[in-house]
Amino acid sequence: MTPRLLSPSVAASILLLFVAGAGIASVLGTSEPVLRGIVAGLALGWVGSAGELRIMGRSLRDDLPRAMRVLTGGFALRLGVIVLSMTWLEKSGLADGAAFSAGLVGAFFCFLPVLAAATRAPVPNGEARG
């Protein structure tokens, strides 16, 4: 089950994005390139994680080994994006590469409430979760 757009897990995840962004900014500073890097990293990381969840889809319940392969592939892809983007952003001067990387990694952790809600088995009517 993929969480709805306005579910509590998505709202919690978006709130965590703001908290993570503020935390990264408090460590790296608030210059314009740093803020651009943070926003770009958080946005790309969250959307990438959502895409990864969409790809995993039914595999989470039906084919767990496939879901783990998708998760591992997403991790490897995320590392590649970090290295290439950091290099490109630093050379071009568009944004701070370290802030982008911190945002990208932070967004993955901010997405965990959505992932937890997606992997939780539905409760049949009338039964208590326990």
What is the per-residue pLDDT across 5-64, written as a single tens digit (0 to 9) for each? 678 888 889 999 999 999 999 999 999 999 999 999 999 999 888 888 888 877 777 788
In a domain, 3, yes or no: no
The answer to whether residue 78 sits within a structural domain is: yes
Domain presence at residue 51: yes
Domain that holds residue 51: 8-119
Say whether pLDDT at 130 is over 60.
no
DSSP tag of 95: S
The count of C-alpha atoms lying within 13 angstroms of the C-alpha of 95, restricted to the half-sphere facing its C-beta, is 17
In a domain, 126, yes or no: no
Q: Tell me how many domains the chain contains.
A: 1
125 lies in a domain?
no
Residue listed under structure tokens 């995993």: 56
Is the CB of residue 45 less than 8 Å from the CB of residue 100?
Answer: no
Which tens digits make up the pLDDT trace of 89-126?
A: 889 999 998 999 999 989 989 998 888 887 776 656 65
74 within domain boundaries: yes
Q: Is residue 128 part of a domain?
A: no
